[in-house]
Each structure stands twice: as structure tokens, then as C-alpha cells.
Structure 1
Amino acid sequence: MSATVSNKHILITGGGSGIGKASALLLGARGALVAVADCQLAQAEDVATQINDAGGRAYALPVDVADPAQVSTMFSAAAERQPIDVVINNAGIDHAPMPMHQVDDAVFLKNVEVNLAGTWYCMKAALAHMLNNGHGQIINVASVAGLRSAPTVSAYSASKHGVIGLTRSAAVEYARMNIRINAVCPSFVDTPMVQGVLAQMDERGKKQIVGANPMKRLGKPEEVAGAVAWLCSDESSFMTGQSVVLDGGMLA
């Protein structure tokens, strides 16, 4: 039996593509009311339509997570429908691989602004909402680059290390308030973002990325979505402050 999320109201940022899209589709298929939020509203609307056409329940919301005002508006709009049970902070960006001394400061700051500050804004809003409701779950999509070294993507890695720090610290702070907070940490997954990185590499570089784990392949968005769905369910009720690694054995 699959982990049930039936009737839970789940908000996911970056839900228009990649891991966010796969998670939204799976959660919708399992009975959740899914709020698909994305800075590309048309993509979010397309995902919501797919869920509704398949017999589920979903709606789309626009948001740039790096803008706290937009985050606040998103949460207000979602909460008007019904209390939010789960928030999945999935929106994120990366940068072109290059030595750290060549990374422009603006690129570093943008990664921090979206990946780390964006998660911070969404967590603050989610926590305020969940404290009022007396329960809730937050799932942050981090990365194996937040758990180990990640040469040539230093800015991205730094932002994801920060997400892990927020996850662990907040999990301990709010454990007694019936709010659970965990992270998922994928390695290279076959998403538009990763394909964008691969497109900038030569064949040798591509082979190194694809073969970076013992399984010698990219992960699938649906494989990460399965872990996200389990974390959304009550089957993970004694789990908080953890980083679930999906990396094909890379860190083993």
C-alpha cells in the first residue's frame, strides 16, 4: 500500500517542472489537494490541469520565492482554500560549473537569494501557519551538494548546505509543536536543470556526471517524488530533522 496523503493540502514551490512536477503529479494521484506554485505560472497551470484531468484536485499559484512579499501572498491565497498540511520547498536554481575564483559574485548571491533565502521565507511563513493550526510538515529539497564537497558548483553547494542547516535547526525548535521538518537530498536527476548543465559540458564531462554514482545513471524525478510522498504521509511520523539521500550510492 502506498503512503497515503489523501485529503492533505500540500503546497509545493517550483512545482512546474522537474522534481516539483513529478511530486505534484504523484501527490495529486494519491488524493492530496495540491497547490502548484512556480515563477513560471503557465507551467504550474499545466501541471495543475494534468492533475485535475486525471481526477485529482490541484490549482496553480505564481511565486518568486526570493521575494518575501510574493511568498506571503502565496501562503495567504493557499490558506484561504483550507489549512495547509505540508509545504515542500522545492524551488531552486544552479549555476554553470566553473572554478570558484571565476564565479561572479552576482551568481553566488543569486543562488543564496533563491535557494537559501527563498527556503527561509517559505519556512517562516509555513511555520507561522502551522503553529496556528497545531500541526504540519515541511520538506526542503536540498542536494547531496549540501552534504559533501561539490567542486565547480561552490555557490550552489553553499546554498544547499544552508538549507540543511535550516532543516536541522528548525526541526529541533519545532518538534514539540507537532511540526516535522525534513530534507531530501538527490544527486544528479534527469530534470531540465540538470540537462541544462549537461548541455554546457563536453562528452567527457557528461559521462562523468552520469557515471558519478555506482548505478551509473541519472536519477528519475519520479524516484525522488516517491520519497517526498512518503515524507508527506503519516508513515514518517517519527522522523524529523533528517536528510533523505537519493544518490544511487554516491555517498555510500
Structure 2
Amino acid sequence: MNAANVEGKHILITGGGSGIGAASAKILCERGALVGIADLNIDNATQLAQALTAEGGKAYAIAVDVTESQQVTAMFTGAMAQNDKIDVVINNAGIDHFPAPLTEVEDAMFMKNIQVNLAGVWYCMKNALNHMTRHGGGHIINIASVAGLRSAPMISAYSASKHGVIGLTKSAAVEYARANIRINAVCPSFVDTPMVQGVLSKLDERGQKSLVAANPMKRLGKPEEIANAIAWLCSDESSFMTGQSVVLDGGMLA
């Protein structure tokens, strides 16, 4: 049996069409899981699912806007049509905002961060918990951020939403521990994803260098580095772990 074995598990990933979500889908598929790739961009999700299937994996695509509770419920219904038990739900869908002082962040952008990053996780967790309590257990993995564990000047709205995700993770983990449901968070720092590249493209050269060098390793994380940690959490090797925040930050918080 391979390390971090996920063979035969049914794993649903929101925001699975790009970045950390796509890297996770690829690794989990290669290790024998059935992977549901849910994304607002259904074209990205479909292309990835087709590519993984062509390589001999088991994957399917499903459209979702995590800010709409009815769409989240429909996503779970669609996933259960593929396999009636979902073992792991990875709440990865998220957005950020351009760095700016708090007073210059538009109210609408604050609300959008809360709707996608926090309410979206809330809707997914409610559906996952309802499903898992009926099916004997499971594991929820919420993708948070180091910005949910410390101050994050200039990205206050994003930071607030990620602090909220960690609060949900800890509270629900304790509530559902005896139901054989584990809930953990993954907290990356800056990772080389389309979202981070979008931020970099709006910064001047000095700003770009300072963002890349924000940790002692002086580089961005790779999506695969985060995905490997997620894959371990998806496996039964992490079976005594719940309510925790797994930090992958190149030493930023050390």
C-alpha cells in the first residue's frame, strides 16, 4: 500500500479547476480516488476531468457557485449520483482582493470575500456534515491561509474571511468528533497559482519581489507542495487529527 493511500475514496473538491484544487485533483486521481472537480468555471473543470480520465483516472466535472446555497446542495446531489458516499470534501474555492489599506477596500469587495471564502465554506460544510452523519463519517478539509492565523496588512477583507474559516474548522471539529467526522484546515502562504499571479501582475517590481520573498525560503510555494499535504490529510494516516491548521508557508510563521 502506498503512502497517503486514497484508493477507492470519493473526494469532492470545490475550485478544483485550477491552482491548488487542480493540483490536488491530479495527485488524488493518480492515487486511485474518484475525484469530483467542482468549479464556477465549468470549462476548466471539464477539461481537467477529461484529461485525468484519459490518463486512466476516475474524475468528473460539476458546476457550482459556492455563494449560492441551492447550487451547493445541487453539487452534492450531482456528486452522489456518481457515488452515493462522499468520503472527503475539500473546500478550496476562494478569491482574494488587491492589496490596499482597509479604508480603500470597497464594501462590495469585503462582502464578496466573505461570501466566497466564508459563506461558501459554510454552505459546503453544512451539506457535507449532513451527508457524512448519515453515512458513518468522513473528512472535511478547508483551505484557509496563513492570513487566517496572523495579521495580514493590506488584505484585511481576505484575512477576515480566512480567520472565519479557521473558526468554523475548529468549532465544527469539536462538535462532530464523535460522529467519526474529521475537519481540518490547510494554511498556505503565497503559492504560484493563477490567483497569486493575478496579484503579482498588479504590483510594481519592488512589490513583486517583496511578496515572493515574504518567507525565509524566498520563493513561492508550488501547488503540488500543498496538494501533497492535502493528499495525506485525505488518507487514513491522519486519522487522529482534527480541528488543526496545517501550515505550509516556507517558514513565514516560524
Q: Do they superpose with TM above 0.5?
A: yes
Q: How does 1:36-115 map to 2 (within 5 A)?
A: 36-82=37-83, 83-115=85-117
Runs of 4+ in 1 over 6 A off after TM superposition: none
Instruction: Report the TM-score when normalising by structure 2.
Output: 0.99
Residue aligning to 1:152: 154
Q: How does 1:212-227 map to 2 (within 5 A)?
A: 212-227=214-229
Looking at structure 2, the residues matched to 2 and 50 of structure 1 have their Cα atoms a distance apart, in angstroms, of 24
Cα-to-partner distance string for 1:2-36 (whole Å, 9 max, x where unaligned):
21000000000000000000000000000000000
Residue aligning to 2:184: 182
Q: Percent identity?
A: 70
Looking at structure 2, the residues matched to 52 and 162 of structure 1 have their Cα atoms a distance apart, in angstroms, of 36
Cα-to-partner distance string for 1:166-222 (whole Å, 9 max, x where unaligned):
000000000000000000000000000000000110011001000000000000000
Looking at structure 1, the residues matched to 203 and 71 of structure 2 have their Cα atoms a distance apart, in angstroms, of 35
Looking at structure 2, the residues matched to 38 and 104 of structure 1 have their Cα atoms a distance apart, in angstroms, of 25
Alpha-carbon distance, 1:49 to partner? 1.1
| SS across alignment from 2:185 | strand
Q: Which runs of 5+ in 1 are unaligned?
A: none
- Letter aligned with residue 19 of structure 1: I
Alpha-carbon distance, 1:53 to partner? 1.2
Could you tell me which of 233, 250, 253 is aligned with 1:251? 253
Alpha-carbon distance, 1:142 to partner? 0.2
Could you tell me which of 120, 143, 149 is aligned with 1:118? 120
Looking at structure 1, the residues matched to 194 and 3 of structure 2 have their Cα atoms a distance apart, in angstroms, of 27
Looking at structure 2, the residues matched to 26 and 215 of structure 1 have their Cα atoms a distance apart, in angstroms, of 24
Looking at structure 1, the residues matched to 151 and 200 of structure 2 have their Cα atoms a distance apart, in angstroms, of 19
Residue aligning to 1:198: 200
| SS across alignment from 2:227 | helix
- Letter aligned with residue 22 of structure 1: A
**Backbone CA RMSD of aligned residues:** 0.5
- Letter aligned with residue 198 of structure 1: L
- Letter aligned with residue 204 of structure 1: R
Looking at structure 1, the residues matched to 48 and 152 of structure 2 have their Cα atoms a distance apart, in angstroms, of 32
Alpha-carbon distance, 1:50 to partner? 1.7
Cα-to-partner distance string for 1:104-143 (whole Å, 9 max, x where unaligned):
0000000000000000000000000000001100000000
| SS across alignment from 2:246 | strand
Looking at structure 1, the residues matched to 82 and 46 of structure 2 have their Cα atoms a distance apart, in angstroms, of 17
| SS across alignment from 1:11 | strand
Looking at structure 2, the residues matched to 120 and 215 of structure 1 have their Cα atoms a distance apart, in angstroms, of 33
Cα-to-partner distance string for 1:54-91 (whole Å, 9 max, x where unaligned):
11100000000000000000001111222100000000
| SS across alignment from 1:249 | coil
Instruction: Report the TM-score when normalising by structure 1.
Output: 0.99
Looking at structure 1, the residues matched to 172 and 81 of structure 2 have their Cα atoms a distance apart, in angstroms, of 25
Looking at structure 1, the residues matched to 71 and 51 of structure 2 have their Cα atoms a distance apart, in angstroms, of 25
- Letter aligned with residue 80 of structure 1: A
Q: How does 1:153-172 map to 2 (within 5 A)?
A: 153-172=155-174
